[in-house]
Amino acid sequence: MLMDRIALILAIIGGLNWGSVGIFRYDFIAGLFNGAATTAARVAYTLVGLAAVWCISMLFRERDIDVVERA
């Protein structure tokens, strides 16, 4: 559950970053780490990409029925 939240937050950050690239032509991650080719920026991009892959797995999981039944 915690991993799902972390992955979702990172995927949202990545989506917002790509939105800013598309709309404003500004890459916040590259700006934050002084360039897209720096090691820190590459680590950030990699973490966002891995989070997106993790989020794909969330699409194919069964929902927790116990939580719905208790409500």
Whether the model clears a pTM of 0.85, i.e. scores above it, the answer is no
User: Alpha carbon 2 to chain centroid distance?
Assistant: 14
**Residue extents of the structural domains in the chain:** 2-70
Residue 34 amino acid letter: N
Token readout for 61 is 């999981």
Count of H-run helices and E-run strands, the chain: 4, 0
Query: What's the first-to-final CA gap in the chain, in angstroms?
Result: 19
Express each pLDDT in 20-61 by its tens digit. 999 999 999 999 999 999 999 999 999 999 999 999 999 999
